[in-house]
Amino acid sequence: MNSRKPSSLLIIFIISMAVLSQIEAARVLPKDFAAVNRLDTYSTVYHKAKFTVSCWIQRLASGPSSQGPGH
């Protein structure tokens, strides 16, 4: 009974890997993925995200923790 469980798990694993290896990518990137217009869009998104995170970090309290070191 004990050897039956690992062998059935191994069979399930092998079957699932065989099925997953046959599935192609769900989304294929276009050939012009690195085009100039896309880089500009991602650049502005990056700068907005960087600004937002810096604002969040500035709002954090500075100094030692009230609960002691390590918290």
Return the pLDDT at 16.
87
Tokens 């050897």 correspond to 3
Q: Do 71 and 65 contact (CB within 8 A), yes or no?
A: yes
Is residue 29 a contact partner of residue 35, using CB atoms and an 8 Å limit? no
Matching residue, tokens 């690992």: 6
Give the mean pLDDT of 43-62.
85
Q: Given this model, what pLDDT does residue 52 score?
A: 92
Provide mean pLDDT across the span 20-42. Answer: 63
pLDDT at 3 over 60: yes
What does the block give as tokens for 33? 């993925």
